[in-house]
Amino acid sequence: MGQHLIHWVWLNSVPGIGARRASQLLEYFECPENIWNARKEELSRLPFLTRKTIENLMDKKIRDESEKHLERIYNHKIKVITIKDDLYPCYLKSIYDAPPLLFVKGQVEKDEKTIAIVGSRRATSYGLDMAERIGYELSKLGVTVVSGMARGIDSRAHSGSLKAGGRTLAVLGCGLDTVYPPENKPLMQRIEESGAVISEYLPGVKPVAQNFPARNRIISGISLGVVIIEANEKSGSLITADFALEQGREVFAVPGNITSSNSKGTNKLIREGAKIVTDIDDILEEIKVHRSSNNKEHRLVVKKPQFDGLDSDERIIAEQLSIEPTHIDLLAEKSKINIQEMNAILIMMELRGIVEQLPGKIFKLKE
Amino acid sequence: MLSKIKSCGLVGIDGYIVEVETDISSGIPAFEIVGLGDTAVRESKERVRAAIKNTGLEFPVRRITINLAPANQRKEGSAFDLSIALGILTATEQVNNPALDKYLFIGELSLDGEVKPVNGILPMAICALNAGIENIVLPIANADEAAVVRGLNVLPIRNISEIINHLNGEKPIDRYYIDIEGIFSSNINHELDFADVKGQANVKRALEVAASGAHNCIMVGSPGSGKTMVAKRLPSILPSMTFEEALEVTKIHSIAGILPQKTSLITNRPFRSPHHTISDISLIGGGKYPRPGEISLAHYGVLFLDEVPEFSKDALEVLRQPLEDGVVTISRVNASLSYPAKAMLVLAANPCKCGNFLDNTKQCTCTPKQVQQYLGKLSGPLLDRIDIHIEVASVKYKELESDKEEEKSALIRERVNKARKIQLDRYKGLKIFSNSQLQPAMINKFCRLDDKGKELLRSAFDRLGLSARAHNRILKVARTIADMEESGEIKLAHLAEAIQYRSLDRRFWNG
């Protein structure tokens, strides 16, 4: 594809040519090679091009750069999917400003049921938990989970999906040679292996702030619906929700504690008509995925915790923890067990997998 | 004419007898002091001259040579002033006393003949007693400190004429007494009491365990969660100091010159909390004229390093050896001296850069990497010397308001004393005093686990992701918890509780 690809890469790298201009040009010239060969007079006749952009299109330096871009793409073993390729995700193709080129590491599949899960980077343990669980359950039911590999909710949604052995797509706001955030390097590797990491940016593009809203339109565009878990009032996740509405995608929101700032955004979405997620079926209904009628196991809401096999002290602790995660001091006070015994009992329960310790000596019930 | 007067110098935390030899001969008038004195010693010439003159005595206009023997040992400070003056007065026969070698003189002179206090009186007094000297003459402000030494006549003076009158038999000075036992028993009071700390049950418990086994510990918690408050109260639950311990602590504080006025003995365990900008030298001691560092000043007490990740790496690294050996050795070209440094180390740190990582009510603005890096600054070898990790949560307003009676320090101290006694008895003849000092070979002997215990420890390592360095620390702490309950063997509950005190080894701190 070499020779043919270089024109695509060139088109993608011209300053002033975004997704929208590119698609207009492609409509007119049919393929990037024709644009490359177009004469200046021809380009000047197009009303949507400014003089500056035309200069850039004719610029020899930018054309020469394309070789280097191409080399970098090969070096990083990045696949390129153009909007004219069959493999190009069909939902994404339909949006108004679909990226002409997608850079991919991993495997894209043409028709797959996809749901995006996005949310706050600084999530609460509840939010992280929900992200992981929804990611897990959707994957178990064969839905591909899309997210942005950001810290917090995004990462947990991916890892939930990976845990279930499902497919997951990560859409980045930078070139695929950069891992952002850096601590997600191992996660990115696993996503490449059992899904794909996608970006519209050439390798070498840094994760600058303005890339992320644009990235969000791909997240929603590539998906049938977007689940938002935890977002404060001015969150990037709400931008994703807006894109989703523009693109005609379903918007789901996971309700949260009304006193938590992390729930303000999601609760607002619900108030404004987003579909509330109280169980996995709420999502499945809208995207026409049906579970077989006897399959009852994939549920978000856990049944009442089982206290079988616990002695009386442990039962008291478990009952308190089933209300909310609790600090060890409060736990000791409420259960009238002294602190040293409490320490011992909790470690035993933790080792048996009944409770889990969070930073700050706070304990919660493990499902 | 020649005279010999005894005084005292300091090396490390011990005194040594200095003989002040004065020779007055005819020749061109001059005043020389030899014997490796520092500037303060050399300048004493001027103070001595003026003091003698202003007391109404005669300063000889002749050739005066003073030798401070042993002449090869460096001497510093102004404590030799009084003995130099008396040497001149004896050599000119203005003072006549046949029993002068039974006296030791210490004190700085002011120009009008008054005698001013100096540092390091206690070690000097002990040195005098050991050298068989009967009387120690010193500034009145230092009298309380020296009077602690039993068997020594302490003769406090205000000015130089008092001692001249005494020595010439005109007006004897009364011996100074204090009630040592009375001071020792009544002075043990702690203004800061654990009863002031509301809530924080698990922090208090962890500190009680730490105190019972003399374990070093680290507290991690958000700003304002009360780390400093509880640390300051830690000395109040440590076992009371013995007289010998008190003497040693007072010696160090006396040399460093930080003994409060009118104090004869430090009876409360010291609590030192140096600022994080401290240099490595001030932390462990040293300098051109060596001084004890903070870790020696905290000897038999608590060295508290607040905001420990902010300390310079050098400062923290130099702590390692003294923590291991309980002594700081300072080597110089011509001498090496050592300061004792058996302090319990208590570290406090915010959980992350912004400090809110553990706080449920505030939002942490750090990235996971920053959180990891912040405590990652503490080097492994330093953390290797920390047995107990304590996570401190902020106290809710409700608890601050509550009238619930909290336990008094004295009650906790009683329990700690009991646990320490068990350890002392067990380690008799082994040169260690507490569980925290157990060496690996001894751990195998004293911290045996039954099969169930081994199983528990194994599964804790597998499931909680504890790092290898935790293993021996858990066993030592479990031993202490067992001692607190006067249990011979380490039971499962003891071991389980000990595992709780290794939170920093867990995975969520390591990313």
User: How many distinct structural domains can be found in chain A?
Assistant: 3
Q: Is A347 on the interface with B (CB under 8 A)?
A: yes
What is the pLDDT confidence band of residue B399, given thresholds at 50, 70 and 90?
low
Q: pLDDT digit string (tens) for A206-229?
A: 999 999 999 999 999 999 999 999
Q: Which is the CATH superfamily of the domain at B194-410?
A: P-loop containing nucleotide triphosphate hydrolases (3.40.50.300)
How many angstroms separate the CA atoms of B451 and B454, rounded?
A: 5
Contact A359 B368 (CB under 8 A): no
What is the pLDDT confidence band of residue B376, given thresholds at 50, 70 and 90?
confident
Q: Is A327 on the interface with B (CB under 8 A)?
A: yes
What's residue A1's pLDDT? 47
Is pLDDT of A155 > 90? yes
Which of helix, strand or coil describes residue A44? helix
What is the pLDDT confidence band of residue B209, given thresholds at 50, 70 and 90?
very high
Return the closest-CA partner of residue B13 out of B340, B336, B311.
Answer: B340
Q: Encoding tokens for residue A189?
A: 């590797």
One-letter amino acid of B49: R
Element counts in chain B: helices (H) and strands (E) = 21, 18
Q: What residues of B are in contact with residue A341 (Cβ under 8 Å)?
A: 493
What's residue A88's pLDDT? 92
Range of lowest pLDDT (A161-165, A198-202, A363-367, B85-89): A363-367
Q: What residues of A are in contact with residue B452 (Cβ under 8 Å)?
A: none
Is pLDDT of A339 > 60? yes
Which of helix, strand or coil describes residue B155? strand
What is the pLDDT confidence band of residue A364, given thresholds at 50, 70 and 90?
confident
If one compares B366 and A131, the residue with the highest pLDDT of the two is: A131
How many angstroms separate the CA atoms of B283 and B305, rounded?
A: 10
What's residue B432's pLDDT? 85
Nearest to A182 among B358, B369, B496 (CB): B369
One-letter amino acid of A158: H
Q: Name the residue of chain B whose CA is nearest to A262's CA.
A: B363
Is pLDDT of A322 > 90? no
Q: Is A324 on the interface with B (CB under 8 A)?
A: no
Contact B358 A329 (CB under 8 A): no
- Within 8 A by CB and 6+ apart from B300, the residues are B241, B245, B248, B249, B269, B270, B342, B343
Which of helix, strand or coil describes residue A3? helix
Please count the residue pairs, one from chain A and one from chain B, whose beta carbons lie less than 8 angstroms apart.
86
Q: What is the mean pLDDT of residues A43-66?
A: 89
Contact B202 A339 (CB under 8 A): yes
What is the pLDDT confidence band of residue B268, given thresholds at 50, 70 and 90?
confident
Q: pLDDT digit string (tens) for B426-438?
A: 998 888 888 988 8
Q: pLDDT digit string (tens) for B159-185?
A: 999 999 999 999 999 999 888 887 777
If one compares B156 and B384, the residue with the highest pLDDT of the two is: B156
Q: What is the DSSP string of A88-134?
A: S-HHHHTSTT--SEEEEEE---SS--EEEEEE-SS--HHHHHHHHHH
Domain contains A94: no
Q: Are the C-beta atoms of B165 and B148 separated by less than 8 Å? A: no
Q: A233, A330, A343: which to substitute to probe chain B, counting the most B Cβ within 10 Å?
A: A343
Nearest to A361 among B202, B365, B456 (CB): B202
Domain that holds residue A42: 2-75
CATH classification at residue A55: 1.10.150
Domain contains A80: no
How does DSSP classify residue B469? Answer: T
Q: What is the mean pLDDT of residues B325-344?
A: 85
Contact B201 A362 (CB under 8 A): no
How many angstroms separate the CA atoms of A126 and A131, rounded?
A: 9
Q: What angle do CA B487, B489, B490 make, to 5 degrees?
A: 95
Same domain? A327 vs A267: no
What's residue A169's pLDDT? 95
Q: In whole numbers, what is the pLDDT of chain B averaged over residues?
A: 89
CB count, 10 Å around CB of A186?
Answer: 9
Domain contains A81: no
Q: Is A151 on the interface with B (CB under 8 A)?
A: yes
What's residue B367's pLDDT? 75
* Percent of all residues in chain A with a pLDDT value above 90, rounded to a whole number: 47
- Within 8 A by CB and 6+ apart from B69, the residues are B18, B19, B21, B35
Q: What residues of A are in contact with residue B456 (Cβ under 8 Å)?
A: 348, 351
- Alpha helices, H only, chain A: 2-13, 19-29, 32-37, 40-44, 51-58, 60-75, 90-93, 125-140, 153-163, 185-193, 211-221, 236-246, 261-271, 280-287, 312-323, 328-335, 339-351
Which among A236, A254, A287 is the end of a domain? Answer: A287
- A222-260 burial string, b = 16+ CB within 10 Å, else e? bbbbbbbbbbbeebbbbbbbebbbebebbbbbbebeeee
Q: Name the residue of chain A whose CA is nearest to B497's CA.
A: A344
Same domain? A320 vs A177: no
Q: What residues of A are in contact with residue B493 (Cβ under 8 Å)?
A: 340-341, 344
How does DSSP classify residue B75? Answer: B
Q: Name the residue of chain B whose CA is nearest to A326's CA.
A: B360
Q: Name the residue of chain A whose CA is nearest to B463's CA.
A: A351
What is the pLDDT confidence band of residue A294, given thresholds at 50, 70 and 90?
low
Is pLDDT of B188 > 80? no
CB count, 10 Å around CB of A94?
Answer: 11
Return the closest-CA partner of residue A344 out of A331, A325, A359, A358.
Answer: A331
Same domain? A134 vs A57: no
Domain contains A305: no
Antiparallel, parallel or unpaired: β A275-276 and A168-171: unpaired
Q: What is the mean pLDDT of residues B387-394?
A: 89
What's residue A311's pLDDT? 87
* Percent of all residues in chain B with a pLDDT value above 70, rounded to a whole number: 96
- Within 8 A by CB and 6+ apart from A336, the residues are none
Nearest to B500 among A182, A347, A353 (CB): A347
Instruction: At B235, give phi and psi (nearest 5°).
Output: -55, -25
Q: A233, A361, A366: which to substitute to probe chain B, counting the most B Cβ within 10 Å?
A: A361
If one compares B510 and B273, the residue with the highest pLDDT of the two is: B273
One-letter amino acid of B308: V
Contact A122 B364 (CB under 8 A): yes
Count of all residues that appear for chain B in the document: 511
> What is the distance in angstroms between the Cα of B283 and the nearest Cα belonging to chain A?
30
Helix axes A153-163, A125-140, angle to 10 degrees: 40
Domain contains A106: no
Domain ranges in chain B? 2-178, 194-410, 438-511
Is pLDDT of B104 > 90? yes
Domain contains A86: no
What is the pLDDT confidence band of residue A292, given thresholds at 50, 70 and 90?
low
Q: Encoding tokens for residue A20?
A: 């929208």
> What is the distance in angstroms between the Cα of A122 and the nearest Cα belonging to chain B?
8
Same domain? A319 vs A249: no
Contact A343 B508 (CB under 8 A): no
Is pLDDT of A303 > 70? no
Q: Which residues pair with B154 in a beta bridge?
A: B136
Same domain? A264 vs A169: yes
Same domain? A157 vs A245: yes
Same domain? A46 vs A148: no
Q: Is A185 on the interface with B (CB under 8 A)?
A: no
Same domain? A37 vs A133: no
Contact B202 A343 (CB under 8 A): yes
Our measurement of the distance from residue A165's CA atom to the centroid of its chain's CA atoms, rounded to an integer in Å, reads 17
ipTM of the complex in this document: 0.78
For the domain B2-178, what is the CATH code?
A: 3.30.230.10
CATH classification at residue A330: 1.10.10.10
Q: Is A329 on the interface with B (CB under 8 A)?
A: yes
What is the pLDDT confidence band of residue A304, given thresholds at 50, 70 and 90?
low
Q: What angle do CA A250, A254, A255 make, to 5 degrees?
A: 130
What is the pLDDT confidence band of residue B267, given thresholds at 50, 70 and 90?
confident
What's residue B191's pLDDT? 79
Same domain? A238 vs A351: no
Count of all residues that appear for chain A in the document: 367
- Which residues on chain B place their C-beta less than 8 Å from a C-beta of chain A? 199-202, 204-205, 351, 357-360, 363-365, 367-369, 391, 393, 456, 459-460, 463-464, 481, 492-494, 496-497, 499-500, 503, 506, 508-509, 511
Is pLDDT of A24 > 80? yes
Is pLDDT of B64 > 90? yes
The reported pTM is 0.77
Our measurement of the distance from residue B110's CA atom to the centroid of its chain's CA atoms, rounded to an integer in Å, reads 31
Q: pLDDT digit string (tens) for B26-61?
A: 999 999 999 999 999 999 999 999 999 999 999 999
Q: What is the mean pLDDT of residues B199-220?
A: 92
Q: In whole numbers, what is the pLDDT of chain A averaged over residues?
A: 89
Same domain? A239 vs A133: yes
Domain contains A307: no
Domain contains A259: yes
What's residue B187's pLDDT? 59
